[in-house]
Structure 1
Amino acid sequence: MSASATLFALPAGRPDRAWWQVAARAVHDWARPSRVDLRDAVWLLPYSALLPAARQGLADVGGWQPRVETVATLRAQLGPRLAAGGPGPDAVLNRLQAAQWLREVPAGAAWARDDAQAFRQGVDALVRTAEAMQMRVACLAPAQREAWWNEARALLAGSQGPGSIERLLARVALEWVASDLSVDADVLRRLRPSGWILLRAGGPDALAEALQREALESGIPGLLLDADPPPSEPFALALHGQPPAEAVCHDAETEAQAACAQVLAELKVSPVAQVALIAQDREAVRRVRALLERFGVAVIDDTGWRLSTTRSAARMIAMLRSAQSLRPGGADTTAADRRLEWLKDDAIGLAQPDSLVLLEAHWRGQRLADDAREKAEAFWVDAQARLAPLLGGRRKALSDWLRALSALCLADTQEAARWRDDPAGRAVLLALRLEPHAAHDATWQTLAGQATMSLDDFVAWVDEVLGDASFVPPHDSRARVVITPMARALLRPFDAVVFPGADERRLGAIEPQPELIPPAAAQALGIEGTAAQRERETLAFAQLLRQPRLTLLRRAAEGSEPLGASALVERLRLAWLAAPDGARTLPRVSPSLPVRSERAVAVDPPLPTAGSRWPASLSASAVEALRACPYRFFSRVLLGLGEVDELDRGPAKRDYGNWLHAVLFRFHQGRVPTQDLEADRDRLRQSARDEQDASAYSEADLLPFLASFEALVDPYLRWLHKREHEGWAWAHGEQERRIAPPALGGVALHGRLDRLDQHPDGRVELLDYKTGSVTSLRSQLTDRSEDTQLAFYAALLACDERGGLRPEVVNAAYLALDDRHAPVSLPHAGVGESAMLLIDGLAAELARLRAGEPMQALGQGAVCEHCEARGLCRRDHWSAPASPAKNGEGDTAPSDAGGPA
């Protein structure tokens, strides 16, 4: 009969300094009669965060101390890992090795080519299975391994029927592990301490207990300090203190707020209180952390974040996906967004911010001057050249891709500093092995040279690596709140624990993952399965009951779906009801964030003044904004604010108008007037095709508009031929004009004229294309003083070199192109006179604003209902609606704050 370790059951209660002293005394009390020299003994703990507490407990007791380690820290001190053929500690390298092996088989190469996502999932499953087998083999004595290999090969035999692919991958994993002739854990077996001491908490540590068991067989004594409750009564620890509190919240947001409130309340209990925030629901904990930061509470995050969620990782992925979009056929509906995301955080965009602003405006469909558009396009050409190392359209070795990426990130000293000076940036460089010292491993260099990838494969690989890596940001050593997973909270001396996510979906609901080894075979081989994972989670949850105060929070619903308490919480509730001193329930709490009272203050309409914020020139839309509402002019023009269109939206009505403008310009430019309807029809349709090719929209995007355009072709040509028969001829299109009337005091007017036609008698007619409602345009022209646009364009056209107006030479009309009777000409009668009135009124308004008259928000009419500045002027929060000013007789008089009539 083999010897067994001495068992000592550690007491219940808070794992504070006194509790660890009890554990240390148990070690000394065991060592004396067992004749164990503690100087040569080893005490293994479940995880490294417990090392300081255990060492402090030993120091308090005094005397000789054993070596206090975890399995991982002890192994690291015994020398580097032996070079072997099996899976190593580097998950990236393991996946790369597995993928390379599978691709060497014709069927595997075809799988990777035909279904890349399923291939990557298969590689992940293979690596997970190999790591699980490796862990099991590490727990076996060398003499037991050959029998285990044979049993595993027998259980995984067979290549036909359901699950044949899974069995094949499992056999690959098995032979991969079997190729490792020297099991890394055997280094620990060669260590001959005077005794092995284990602390069991949260379930057994299979390798540590295997080492102790083998040592016992060779005559080395062992001590097992058991901190876990009995398996039959996992919640027995709950009966030795006060019951946990429970908070049921309405939804995810209120749960996060309640968790934050509870943390704040616990911190107020004592100036040195240490509070654990359990990261069972990472999404909720991120929200709690953000709330805590608002209250100035520093935290220590044991778990960290996925590296892929950091800004540096997002910057890396944006650069790679921008390169993807530059390949033939690589651009899609999100390409412009990805490119801008990269440029706004890249060296070329930071060095030329003005060019970047122009490029974004160009991509958003804004009409730019020719020189501005050329500057934006030249900037994009330079940006594409920067990505040239990542282009080429062929498969390359992973090492070649990484060299190209390293050249982009590290070749320039300033750019390299941006990566290396940022902790997350350094983590990205190390994860991708872009730093020279990170790629010295010979196995890595061999595999990186053999693995060939397309650009798409490389981007997917980078995304996968960054998604698997963790980033733990630097923290304030004075922080009293620790974010930690449940398994790393056990036996730590916290004053309170706040546990959000204690619902049936997030706690105790481990879903079995699709694995390569069937459950029965895994059990026979001793590989940990779902049942063992559930048992570990139950014990970890039970260990939290040692803490002085535990608050469990959950939400009552997930969207519209009701959500109940976790099965572990229900078991705890039953254990508490069955307590010897009578039926008790878990107390309910309703933590809420601090509320402060604020005195209500009336919100008055804003009254800003222009000051010195005058632009060099005004457009027609700026003048129209001034006339509609002075505050709208203030926000749009003087502050330069405005709504930004979505980059990747589908084409809207305005885009159709811009496209149609460009088509008609192509059609008329260089055209010789003719009455040949068929020739003009072909020319107009060809112009549409050319403009479609030049635009960013596909035929599918423009399909609704192409149908409208096709319906316009013949009516437009008939109208044009009739107009040309009357003597009118197209003279100019898309012409930029700028004038500086002296009356405006140095402010110029600028605009782009859609079209100018000329008559042999010297008359000139300005035509402004419109795709809007004919009824609306007619209504606008009923009162000539209300039509700003044609009057403004007429002023641009009629102004002479000295700034004077010659209104008699100008006619103007809207040409409605989107009507069933289109085209419809809607002339502005007396447009020259309207232009003169516009200039005079604008001059008077500008003079008043320069003199300090406030630009009041009017808050009236249809303009206000659809104004993008409504939230800025706080129209919906005014104390009372704006009303017209009253004169001395009690009658109303219109305010002249609305600009020139």
Structure 2
Amino acid sequence: MQARGVHPSRVVVLLPYAQLVPTVVELWRSREREGFMPRFQTSRQWADELGLVAWSEPTGLDFTGQTALDLLTARHWLTRAGFGADAAWLAPRLVEATAELVPVAAAQAPARRAEWGRCCIHGCVAGWDAPWLRHERALATLALTWASQSAYASDALWDDAATAAYELIFWMDHFIPDPLLHALAAHWGVRAEPFTVEEEEEEEEEAIPPGRLRVHAKVGDLEEEAERAAACVLAHVRSERRPVALAATDRLLTRRIRAWLGLRGVRARDETGWRLSTTRAAARIVAVLRACAWDASTDQVLDLLKNLPGDAHGVDALERWSRQRACARWRDALRLASLEEAGSEAFGASGLDTIAREWLASVERWRSRLGAPRPFHQWQDALAEVLRELGLWAPLAADPAGSEVLAVLGLEECARAAWRRLESTQHRTTAAEFLSWVESALESASFVPPATDEVDVIIVPLGQIRLRRFGAAVLPGCDARSLPLVPETLGFWSDAQRRILGLPDRSAWAWAQRRAWAGALTAPQIDILWRMQDEQGEPLMPSPLLQATLDTQPWEEAADPRSARALALAPQWPPQALGADLPVERLSASAYADLRTCPYRFFALRQLGLRSLDELEEALDASDYGRWLHEILRRFHDACPRPSGRAREDLRASLDAAAAAVDGGRWLEAPDYLPYRLVWPRLREAYLEWLLEVDAPLLAQVEGVELWRERRLGPWLLVGQIDRVDRLQDGRTRLVDYKTESRQRTQKRVREPDEDTQLAFYAALYPELTVEAAYLNVHDREGCTIHALPEVDARREALLRSIEFDLRRVAEGHPLRALGEGEACDWCAARGLCRRDSWPEGGRAEEGGAP
């Protein structure tokens, strides 16, 4: 400027990236305290000021660099080229291929850009006439056509009138030469001056001073690496080496490090940003669309409802009802709710209260508005309306990430009006296609939180550490996978095509990676970390860049920077509780089994009334199978209480009719019954064989099925529901309980009757009768066998004495200890409460415990 006599106000300095601007401004002011200052900015910032392609007003079929809109434009290009059927999977690839071309295309003068595109098409797709290369040829041709026919914000820099106010324009390359700056420099002529702050590359790199490079070489896994990196940052912050540069080489690792720093109150600024799809605002949008899909799961709908603003009372009731009925899919819940409301005998009274039913109706109203296919711009209108109705619009608009989501998806009023005029938004789109577009758009966009002035650590890309003032640098993720010699590129264009197009090839990217690594090593203090194995336990080698540095530069191996904490040993002894203040009024067979198996389980599940939530799983389990079979046999014996004397064909028809009625779908849709229907013929014949050959000769008559019985025993009420009660020919009563388990397990129950109390408990509900009690094992492969309990009367009396003794001890305040023994612990719902897995080896309840 001094040599040419140019005033600073008529000078522009184009820097390679925006984060350098504050550093350069500070340096200028430290030397020139008074007077004017040149304009320090990037070419993108200058072009945005001058020209004028605004994201809020997209026009035509130009490539905008905004993936949300470019995906729609790509689909339009593909449809015009005859590839509309493949547009769903070709559109993202077309956007990627075109994005690589944009720097070169923007470097062409607007008047000559179309001709450049035609020449490149001729040179790049020559010889691609084979049928199996039709998609590659189409993508290459469309990408070049799209890039060469688009207008860019930087086109304003080609206008001499727009740049005439500046007499001198300095420009600086980054590691990869910017073709736009080189082309503009040639266009501006003597006004343009390149500059660099790097010395000429020598044969040997400049030596790093001793003690500045510390390597953490023996790091086990990702979690340990994140902890050590966070400890390094904390050490630099405590030593007043601020700000600390934290290189973002691995996205997952960087998130873990930031989480650790957040726990310590470290002020961080992330200049790399993170995927917009990982924000809470994006998750809310996606949750709305997934909940409105035709095959939405109940979990997806409940997840949306529980994250809406306002009272969730009705939602909690709706969730309890859905879990009790195991409605894994939302359409199952709708069908069952309508059947219950209709008062179907098979489903009983509805368990939904008024508020829950209102929620159910509201959900269907939202879902119906986001279901049918429609033109794309109408999807935006419908989604915006539903967000407002759900009360989500205001929170999203008030949140920085939420407002970015609304802008990226074009949901704001002015954006929707602009998108509605675009030709690419007129095509018909299904709900699944719209959801896929939303997820792709959010995944490709980045969110950078608002910057703060006072920070302790700045998260930066590896290549943006050089030329900036940092007190120290922490470089995690320096393994061969996260920091390769050649960084990953989009990879659509081959090296030969890259040379024709003027794109950087592998050697250029490798050179840029080496220079970025060298620039990162200019910090005053440097900590380098790499882990020895990945998440699957596979070994990881250090990066080739790191290996070369360790071979040529002095370095020291760093000790573990994490501080050790001494923790006092506090073993968790088996707990014991006092249940006297929770009187037992009702007792069932399963409740008493809990008391005998583990007193603490009885206290937790029966006295406190704790229970785990029912799972909303689509996979069938043994309880579904048992309920299905019990319902068939209940219907069969209700219709046929005396099977003896009836023909086998009549009984078979009755069983099939009962099975068909159950298949109407009390718990599941018809397709879910397919595994049961496949075994039903064998199961039916096995039951018929037992019924006719074993049971019919006894001339038994079924008196009732699913009978509820109660009996008073002192202050306690014994209750139970018996699967089947038969009246035998000699007047005796037989109590039958169905089992669908293996025959060996059922045999074990009657072989050790003192351990299994279910049949004796049922017999105790009939104190005035002489009864028999038996398990009926129903199995499709092993057949049907009945296993009677021996000495029923004696065992009934013994059980009553045992119940009275045990319940009196509970009422008197005897400790209810957690035993932690046997198979009962494997599937116990109270295992997390008693903390069985935290007991010391050999720990016994008698050694003490917590209440």
Q: Does 1:659 align with 2:621?
A: no
Percent identity, please.
Answer: 30
Partner of 1:375: 352
Q: Does 1:398 align with 2:399?
A: no
Partner of 1:10: none
Q: Does 1:171 align with 2:141?
A: yes
Partner of 2:655: 684
Task: Report how far residue 810 of structure 1 moved.
Answer: 5.2
AA aligned to 2:508 is A
Distance 1:227 1:60 in 2: 18
Partner of 2:343: none
SS across alignment from 2:19? helix
Task: Report how far residue 281 of structure 1 moved.
Answer: 0.7
Question: Which is further off, 592-601 or 341-350?
Answer: 341-350
Q: Does 1:307 align with 2:270?
A: no
Question: Which is further off, 197-206 or 553-562?
Answer: 197-206
Deviations 1:853-886 (A, max 9, x none): 4321123444346645445424455457466979
CA separation of 1:865/1:169 partners in 2, compared to 1, >3 Å: closer, same or farther? closer
Task: Report how far residue 769 of structure 1 moved.
Answer: 0.6
**Contact 2:106–2:152 (CA under 8 A) maintained in structure 1:** no
**Contact 2:407–2:415 (CA under 8 A) maintained in structure 1:** yes
Question: Which is further off, 499-508 or 443-452?
Answer: 443-452
Residues 312-327 of structure 1: matches in 2 within 5 Å? 312-324=281-293, 326=294
Task: Report how far residue 298 of structure 1 moved.
Answer: 4.1
Task: Report how far residue 196 of structure 1 moved.
Answer: 1.2
Distance 1:527 1:783 in 2: 80
Aligned partner of 1:352 among 315, 338, 348: 315
Task: Report how far residue 378 of structure 1 moved.
Answer: 6.1
Q: Does 1:49 align with 2:25?
A: no
Distance 2:451 2:584 in 1: 47
Partner of 1:470: 446
**Contact 1:733–1:754 (CA under 8 A) maintained in structure 2:** yes
CA separation of 1:868/1:509 partners in 2, compared to 1, >3 Å: closer, same or farther? farther
Partner of 1:588: 557
Deviations 1:607-662 (A, max 9, x none): 23347667885543333212211111233334555566764464333433232222
SS across alignment from 1:755? strand
Partner of 2:695: 723
Normalising by structure 1, what TM-score? 0.80
Q: Does 1:818 align with 2:779?
A: yes
Residues 601-680 of structure 1: matches in 2 within 5 Å? 601-610=570-579, 619-641=588-610, 647-648=616-617, 650-671=619-640, 673-674=642-643, 675-680=646-651
Distance 1:789 1:301 in 2: 63
**Contact 2:485–2:513 (CA under 8 A) maintained in structure 1:** no
Aligned partner of 1:266 among 232, 236, 245: 236
SS across alignment from 1:553? strand
Number of residue-to-residue matches in the alignment: 816
Residues 503-514 of structure 1: matches in 2 within 5 Å? 503-510=479-486
CA separation of 1:415/1:111 partners in 2, compared to 1, >3 Å: closer, same or farther? closer
Q: Does 1:553 align with 2:557?
A: no
CA separation of 1:405/1:595 partners in 2, compared to 1, >3 Å: closer, same or farther? same
Partner of 2:119: 151
Task: Report how far residue 739 of structure 1 moved.
Answer: 6.7
Task: Report how far residue 352 of structure 1 moved.
Answer: 2.4
**Contact 1:258–1:590 (CA under 8 A) maintained in structure 2:** no
**Contact 2:706–2:724 (CA under 8 A) maintained in structure 1:** yes
SS across alignment from 2:242? coil
**Contact 1:773–1:819 (CA under 8 A) maintained in structure 2:** no
**Contact 1:202–1:540 (CA under 8 A) maintained in structure 2:** yes
Residues 97-246 of structure 1: matches in 2 within 5 Å? 97-105=73-81, 107-112=82-87, 116=88, 120=89, 122-141=90-109, 145=113, 148-156=116-124, 158=126, 160-161=129-130, 163-180=133-150, 184-187=154-157, 189=159, 190-192=162-164, 193-215=166-188, 217=189, 219-220=190-191, 222=193, 224=195, 226-231=196-201, 236=205, 238-239=207-208, 243-246=212-215
**Contact 2:733–2:769 (CA under 8 A) maintained in structure 1:** no
Deviations 1:74-100 (A, max 9, x none): 223225327564212422111201102
SS across alignment from 1:313? helix
Task: Report how far residue 823 of structure 1 moved.
Answer: 2.5
SS across alignment from 1:168? helix
**Contact 2:825–2:831 (CA under 8 A) maintained in structure 1:** yes
CA separation of 1:400/1:809 partners in 2, compared to 1, >3 Å: closer, same or farther? farther
**Contact 2:742–2:779 (CA under 8 A) maintained in structure 1:** yes
CA separation of 1:489/1:345 partners in 2, compared to 1, >3 Å: closer, same or farther? same
CA separation of 1:478/1:685 partners in 2, compared to 1, >3 Å: closer, same or farther? farther
**Contact 2:47–2:153 (CA under 8 A) maintained in structure 1:** no
Partner of 1:488: 464
Residues 705-784 of structure 1: matches in 2 within 5 Å? 709-721=680-692, 723-724=695-696, 726-735=698-707, 743-744=715-716, 751-758=720-727, 764-782=733-751, 784=753
SS across alignment from 1:111? helix
Question: Which is further off, 816-825 or 66-75?
Answer: 816-825
Distance 1:417 1:757 in 2: 65
Aligned partner of 2:31 among 52, 61, 85: 61
**Contact 1:663–1:684 (CA under 8 A) maintained in structure 2:** yes
SS across alignment from 1:546? coil
CA separation of 1:133/1:824 partners in 2, compared to 1, >3 Å: closer, same or farther? closer
CA separation of 1:750/1:465 partners in 2, compared to 1, >3 Å: closer, same or farther? farther
Question: Which is further off, 645-654 or 253-262?
Answer: 645-654
Distance 2:453 2:703 in 1: 75
CA separation of 1:48/1:655 partners in 2, compared to 1, >3 Å: closer, same or farther? same
**Contact 2:514–2:545 (CA under 8 A) maintained in structure 1:** yes
Deviations 1:293-351 (A, max 9, x none): 34443432222321222344334334433433x3xxx47xxx45545544543579664
AA aligned to 1:459 is L
Deviations 1:390-447 (A, max 9, x none): 565x5311122233322332124x4444544555444433332333244232x55434
Superposition RMSD in Å: 3.9
CA separation of 1:776/1:87 partners in 2, compared to 1, >3 Å: closer, same or farther? closer
**Contact 2:306–2:315 (CA under 8 A) maintained in structure 1:** no
Question: Which is further off, 189-198 or 125-134?
Answer: 125-134
**Contact 1:247–1:553 (CA under 8 A) maintained in structure 2:** yes
AA aligned to 1:131 is A
CA separation of 1:766/1:169 partners in 2, compared to 1, >3 Å: closer, same or farther? same
SS across alignment from 1:363? coil
Residues 26-37 of structure 1: matches in 2 within 5 Å? 31-37=1-7
Normalising by structure 2, what TM-score? 0.85
Distance 2:752 2:501 in 1: 90
Distance 1:616 1:103 in 2: 73
CA separation of 1:311/1:301 partners in 2, compared to 1, >3 Å: closer, same or farther? same
**Contact 2:176–2:509 (CA under 8 A) maintained in structure 1:** no
Distance 1:575 1:464 in 2: 44
- Which sections of structure 2, spanning at least 5 residues, go unmatched? 341-345
Partner of 2:261: 292
Residues 8-23 of structure 1: matches in 2 within 5 Å? none
SS across alignment from 2:191? coil
Task: Report how far residue 35 of structure 1 moved.
Answer: 0.8
Deviations 1:660-717 (A, max 9, x none): 2222223333336451101222332444455445266689976776565433323322
Distance 2:441 2:151 in 1: 28
